[in-house]
Amino acid sequence: MNLPTLRRGLLLAAAGVAALLAGCASVPPTNIHQPMTARPQPKAEIVAANGSIYQNANFRPLFEDRRARFVGDTITITITENTNASTNQATKATRDSSIQAAVPTLNGLPGKSLMGMGLNATSNSALNGQGQSNNTNVFSGTITATVIEVLPNGNLLVSGEKQIAIGSQQEFVRLSGVINPLFVGTNNTAASSQVADARIEYKSTGSISESQVMGWLARFFLNVLPF
């Protein structure tokens, strides 16, 4: 193997390793409404008045609050999700059956060797099944999302993401949903329980999360093996 060929092979191998490392550090997929942020829509310019006190360009209503109402506004969502579900099932079925038969006297017919033979059969079947499932989830925290769309009825479609990097581990907190402006408090916050069509995710990437994922070859055999 000559030197150019060897160099080309090393470059391809390095590119493959870089692609593999990039794939391992890729952002996990999401089901959150896209986009996860939006810029405010440009507002028409207002010509400033020439008055000595009142300036139209800098005017803001006296009783206007800072609650989100336009595309690009931010709103803080308090995540307070606590779900607890349990189910208990029991199934029981039994069945008994019996059969009795005898061959009476045969006159004028062949097969007299069967005379006096009796047949008894008994069948029993039973089914007893029980199942129990418990599931408890607790998720609390806060995230600030952006209004990405104002629906015709005034509801706000919000979406947001928070990324936290701790060493080589990256945590992703994502949220999206529809909020009724009436549920937004004076401090521009709303509870996640008041978000319609809420989609809340907590995912992570890194060596710790990768160690908890089954390898692709093991998943392949798990899908194709019949036992």
Per-residue pLDDT of 13-35, as tens digits, reads: 555 544 444 444 567 777 787 88
Question: Does 116 have pLDDT greater than 80?
Answer: no
pLDDT, average across residues 61-85 = 83
| Amino acid 7: pLDDT | 59
Distance CA 26, CA 24 (A): 6
Note whether 129 and 90 are within 8 A (CB). Answer: yes
Where do the H-state alpha helices sit in the chain?
A: 3-24, 207-210, 216-224
Distance CA 33, CA 177 (A): 8
pLDDT per residue as tens digits for the range 122-170: 878 887 888 888 888 888 889 999 999 999 999 999 999 998 888 878 8
Note whether 115 and 106 are within 8 A (CB). Answer: yes
Which has the higher per-residue pLDDT, 166 or 196? 196
pTM of the complete model beyond 0.75: no
User: Edge to edge, what strands does the sheet with 156-166 contain?
Assistant: 189-191, 74-102, 118-150, 156-166, 169-179, 195-205
Distance CA 198, CA 147 (A): 14
Note whether 180 and 147 are within 8 A (CB). Answer: no
| Amino acid 18: pLDDT | 47
Give the C-alpha distances (Å, rounded to integers) separating 170 from 16, 19, 22.
23, 19, 14
